[in-house]
Structure 1
Amino acid sequence: MAAVVKVSPAVTVVGSRVSSPRVAGFSSRGPSTEFPGILKPDVAAPGASILAAVGDSYQFYSGTSMACPHVSAVAALLKSVHPDWSPAMIKSAIVTTASITDRFGMPIQAEGAPRKVADPFDFGGGHIEPDRAVDPGIVYDIEPREYAKFFNCTFVSFDDCESYTGQLYELNLPSIAVPNLKNSVIVWRTVTNVGAAETSYHARVEAPAGTTMSVEPSVIEFANNTRTATFKVTFTAKQRVQGGYTFGSLTWLDGSTHSVRIPIAVRTIIQDFVADTS
């Protein structure tokens, strides 16, 4: 039987028939090869075919340089609503309220060869949701001295660095990346209540494949003017392999309004060398 080829005119599909958002092929991807203990990227934002001002006119541009102004604008709006919030609190609000599903409720896809379901190395916490970021419920704040200690003890040697372990997952970030799980690792986090004064949150755990993950306490309560709560997350390798990264999440739910989700990436190892970067 002879092969038959049919060539049809190109068609542009717009509006409700387009599956979006989707992580573009040019978007920055993790993990960070220099500092794998910090999960990157942080979040995803619109960056494809963005109408941008060029000289005295406008043009459509695509790139991470188009996504950055979207996040910057959301950060500025959050600062105008919450002038007392620190930069870390603003970042946390954006990351922990981001969406991991498209407008049809399906998992966000990532362009590539082949296309796949996006993971935290594609979009961090997810696609930004500015309306939700205004009222995140709880946030992960960081004191500037924590960053200063990281930089001082990583690039220089100071007297107060003796107790510093050098593990970047000790930073109180709205994400967790453990690139060197041999047996068991404990990660501590502190959350600050920026919502109702009297409220409680329950932990929902999605453990990365190949690990067990527990959160203590699994319920945190804010009462009697208490604004902060500290909890620990324990990761234990279920199999002794030099593996690749697997992904999970930790979500705090107050049962009504707030869903505060952080992405998690874990890589099990048996030797202290990097066998792969993804």
Structure 2
Amino acid sequence: MACPHVSAVTALIKSVHPNWSPAMIKSAIVTTASVTDRFGMPIQADSVPRKLADPFDFGGGHINPDRAIDPGLVYDVDTKEYNKFFNCTIGLLDGCESYQLNINLPSIAVPDLQNQVIVQRTITNIGPVEATYQAVVEAPAGVAVSVEPSVISFTAGGSRSMTFTLTFTAKQRVQGGYTFGSLTWSDQSAHSVRIPIAVRTVIQDFIADTS
């Protein structure tokens, strides 16, 4: 039932913002979703045994159509980036590891953190012209995360897009599974723009860990 619900929300957003790209609409849905259920409790995964859900279970979380109409910021991707990403996945281009980490998606996955990895994202302001956002990081367990810059301001006549970097540093030397966190840009008012983060620390690559 997820598909018809998301399709309906997508149509709703498109009717209000006909000029938004598919990536902008996806970003609006993901970054305004809730990670708690209707009772305010953490979302449970539909599994046996029961467990707290993580981004691999729910993506961005439970969608919120009202908030998705006015997300404040979006992560946009143009067709050239998608085309390069496709060519990377089928082996037509070399040196794709960095690009695959940096494609401007509203989520971050670092599958092989050995020491330190730097990831880049660009946010576009589609809210008030004058706005200041502060980064709030929930770091995955065993990982230190820093954001530069940690405060981004938009002004009248200035650029509507800003690029920032996240630096992930392994704090423990273990061959681990994925741990999860998030990055939220907050204007301390109406907008809270959250993306999920998934990181796997490794010592060396094992075939058994790549499935």
Q: Could you state the TM-score of these two structures normalised by the residue count of structure 2? A: 0.95
| Aligned counterpart, 1:48 | none
Q: For 2:28 and 2:153, how far apart are their aligned partners in 1? A: 19
Structure 2 unpaired stretches of 5+ = none
Greater Rg over alpha carbons, structure: 1
Matches within 5 A, 1:1-278: 66-157=1-92, 161-162=93-94, 164-165=96-97, 167-225=99-157, 226-276=159-209
* Identical columns (%): 72
Structure 1 unpaired stretches of 5+ = 1-65
Answer yes or no: is the 8 Å Cα contact 1:154–1:166 preserved in 2: no
CA displacement at 1:169 relative to structure 2: 1.9
Q: Once the two structures are superposed, what CA deviation does each residue of 1:22-49 show, in whole Å capped at 9, x if it has no partner?
A: xxxxxxxxxxxxxxxxxxxxxxxxxxxx
- Structure with greater helix share of residues: 2
Q: For 1:248 and 1:264, how far apart are their aligned partners in 2? A: 5
CA displacement at 1:111 relative to structure 2: 2.2
Answer yes or no: is the 8 Å Cα contact 1:120–1:263 preserved in 2: yes
Q: For 1:166 and 1:248, how far apart are their aligned partners in 2? A: 21
Deviates more, 1:191-200 or 1:98-107: 98-107
Q: For 1:200 and 1:192, how far apart are their aligned partners in 2? A: 12
CA displacement at 1:166 relative to structure 2: 5.5
Give the ranges of 4+ consecutive aligned residues of structure 1 lying more than 4 Å apart after TM superposition. none
Q: Once the two structures are superposed, what CA deviation does each residue of 1:142-193 show, in whole Å capped at 9, x if it has no partner?
A: 0110110111233253xxx455436522110000000000000000000000
Answer yes or no: is the 8 Å Cα contact 2:85–2:99 preserved in 1: no
Which structure ranks higher in relative contact order (CA pairs < 8 Å, sequence separation ≥ 6)?
2
In the alignment of these two chains, the number of paired residues is 210
Answer yes or no: is the 8 Å Cα contact 1:150–1:166 preserved in 2: no
**One-letter identity of the residue aligned with 1:246:** T
Answer yes or no: is the 8 Å Cα contact 1:99–1:125 preserved in 2: yes
Answer yes or no: is the 8 Å Cα contact 1:153–1:166 preserved in 2: no
**One-letter identity of the residue aligned with 1:137:** G
Answer yes or no: is the 8 Å Cα contact 1:139–1:193 preserved in 2: yes
